[in-house]
């Protein structure tokens, strides 16, 4: 119970609880964004009103006007030209919920932040961190609209570059908020002074997870998951044809569907092996109970995640399984941030 703690501890516990609640909302936001992408709902709202756009159409006339606006853009003209108003509402509601949830996250962060500031329960260091998170959250909303705009031009699909940037920014915000919350609960490093090698290895694991998740955004942005739906071979080959057909060479990793899926597979398989090796190292080290739980959790989640990835591929990207795969990536990332935090060494 927080009532039994000294005032400074009560303060930290209250702020950490608030941050963990916002983190849960961010988790839902990332998964909801993935579902929006998987159901091709993200381009149904062709306007962005960051301050006034809280309410959906409230009358049949307003719905018809909203649908007419959608009909002016390439997604309707090239792909959904047979869509009627009832079908439009189905994709509209999911994107509306996605945007509404983002606004609610902003409120859930801003109101308690102002409260804690007004009550002087936040020192300047923590205030600077929280202020940075708020600014990053606002910029993420702008980046989300910038991403959507890329699908309202000639090609009725969002840019894989902007999609990966949007997801990468979400991971940075989520990871930073998690780090701040953990720091409030566990401010003093607990790892032994000689554990720097393992800590650096945990940082490498976290970085590899981040890169692998971003490569998944390129898979989603190019619809590469709908090609080569076999495993472990691609079109009956370990190294498929057409892997480096584009010129310049770097474009293969960014726009060539064959290369994008191949690199995501390779990164995921490498990550699995690296996590297994890290887990073996961690078992032999003198770790705290929390750090050991984090290492075990990371290894277990790696097994679940690679199984979800293979299942998503073999079943040709069903929405439920693909969304679970994206959620699994965020769980893996969460555990990795926690693990790095627990393994940070004490000063020598």
Q: Please give the average pLDDT of every successive group of 10 residues along the chain, which has 348 residues.
A: 53 94 97 93 88 86 94 92 94 94 96 93 93 96 92 88 96 98 89 78 97 96 94 94 94 96 97 97 89 96 98 96 97 97 81
Do residues 240 and 234 make contact, with C-beta atoms less than 8 angstroms apart?
yes
Alpha-carbon distance 71 to 83, whole Å?
A: 10
Q: Are residues 85 and 35 in the same domain?
A: yes
Q: Are residues 30 and 154 in the same domain?
A: yes
pLDDT of residue 232: 95
Q: Are residues 172 and 219 in the same domain?
A: no
Do residues 169 and 143 make contact, with C-beta atoms less than 8 angstroms apart?
yes
pLDDT of residue 348: 59
Q: Are residues 130 and 228 in the same domain?
A: no
Task: Please give the tally of structural domains in the chain.
Answer: 2
Does an H or E element contain 323, and which? helix 319-343
Q: Are residues 132 and 272 in the same domain?
A: no
pLDDT of residue 3: 46
Give the residue from 187, 219, 253 where a domain finishes: 187
DSSP assignment of 254-297 equals HH-HHHHHHHHHHHHHHHHHHHHHHHHHHHHS---HHHHHHHHH
Would you call 235 helix, strand, or coil by DSSP? coil
Q: Are residues 161 and 221 in the same domain?
A: no
Alpha-carbon distance 160 to 11, whole Å?
A: 42
Cβ count within 10 A of residue 284: 8
pLDDT of residue 6: 47
The structure tokens listed for 59 are 């009358």
The C-alpha angle with vertex 87 and arms to 86 and 90, in degrees rounded to 5, equals 95
Q: Are residues 212 and 159 in the same domain?
A: no
State the number of CA atoms in the 13 A half-sphere of 267 facing the CB: 23
- Taking alpha carbons only, the member of 309, 40, 23 closest to residue 151 is 40
pLDDT of residue 194: 60
Q: pTM for this structure?
A: 0.93
The structure tokens listed for 131 are 């202020």
Please report where in the chains the tokens 């006034």 appear, as a residue: 52
Give the residue from 187, 210, 233 where a domain finishes: 187
Alpha-carbon distance 98 to 34, whole Å?
A: 10
Q: Are residues 182 and 210 in the same domain?
A: no
Q: Which domain holds residue 340?
A: 190-348
Alpha-carbon distance 348 to 346, whole Å?
A: 6
Alpha-carbon distance 299 to 23, whole Å?
A: 22
- Taking alpha carbons only, the member of 173, 241, 206, 246 closest to residue 23 is 173
Which positions ≥6 away from 124 have C-beta within 8 Å? none
Alpha-carbon distance 230 to 333, whole Å?
A: 26
Which positions ≥6 away from 166 have C-beta within 8 Å? 33, 140, 143, 144, 147
Please report where in the chains the tokens 């936040």 appear, as a residue: 122
Give the residue from 187, 209, 237 where a domain finishes: 187
Alpha-carbon distance 298 to 296, whole Å?
A: 5
Q: Are residues 28 and 122 in the same domain?
A: yes
Do residues 147 and 162 make contact, with C-beta atoms less than 8 angstroms apart?
yes
Q: Are residues 16 and 37 in the same domain?
A: yes
Q: Are residues 154 and 228 in the same domain?
A: no
Do residues 71 and 46 make contact, with C-beta atoms less than 8 angstroms apart?
no
Q: Are residues 40 and 179 in the same domain?
A: yes
């Amino acid at each position: 119970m927080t009532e039994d703690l000294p005032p400074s501890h009560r303060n930290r516990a209250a702020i950490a609880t608030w941050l963990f609640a916002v983190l849960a909302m961010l988790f839902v936001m990332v998964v909801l964004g993935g579902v929006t992408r998987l159901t091709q709902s993200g381009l149904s709202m062709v306007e962005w009103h960051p301050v006034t756009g809280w309410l959906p159409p409230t009358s049949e006339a307003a719905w018809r006007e909203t649908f007419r606006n959608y009909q002016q853009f390439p997604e309707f003209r090239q792909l959904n030209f047979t869509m009627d108003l009832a079908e439009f509402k189905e994709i509209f509601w999911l994107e509306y919920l996605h945007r509404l949830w983002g606004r609610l996250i902003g409120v859930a962060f801003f109101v308690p932040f102002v409260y804690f500031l007004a009550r002087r329960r936040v020192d300047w260091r923590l205030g600077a961190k929280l202020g940075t998170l708020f600014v990053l959250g606002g910029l993420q909303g702008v980046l989300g609209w910038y991403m959507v705009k890329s699908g309202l031009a000639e090609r009725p699909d969002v840019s894989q570059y902007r999609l990966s940037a949007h997801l990468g920014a979400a991971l940075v915000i989520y990871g930073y908020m998690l780090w701040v919350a953990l720091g409030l609960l566990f401010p003093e490093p607990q790892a032994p002074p000689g554990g720097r090698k393992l800590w650096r290895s945990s940082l490498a694991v976290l970085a590899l997870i981040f890169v692998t998740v971003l490569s998944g955004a390129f898979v989603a942005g190019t619809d590469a998951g709908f090609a080569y739906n076999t495993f472990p071979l691609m079109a009956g080959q370990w190294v498929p044809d057409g892997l480096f057909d584009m010129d310049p060479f770097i474009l293969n990793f960014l726009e060539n569907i064959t290369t994008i899926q191949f690199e995501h597979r390779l990164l995921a398989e490498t990550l699995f092996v690296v996590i297994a090796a890290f887990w073996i190292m961690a078992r032999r080290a003198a770790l705290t109970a929390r750090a050991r739980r984090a290492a075990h959790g990371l290894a277990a989640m790696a097994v679940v995640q690679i199984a979800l990835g293979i299942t998503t591929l073999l079943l040709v990207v069903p929405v439920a399984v693909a969304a679970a795969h994206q959620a699994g990536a965020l769980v893996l990332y969460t555990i990795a941030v926690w693990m790095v935090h627990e393994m940070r060494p004490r000063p020598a």
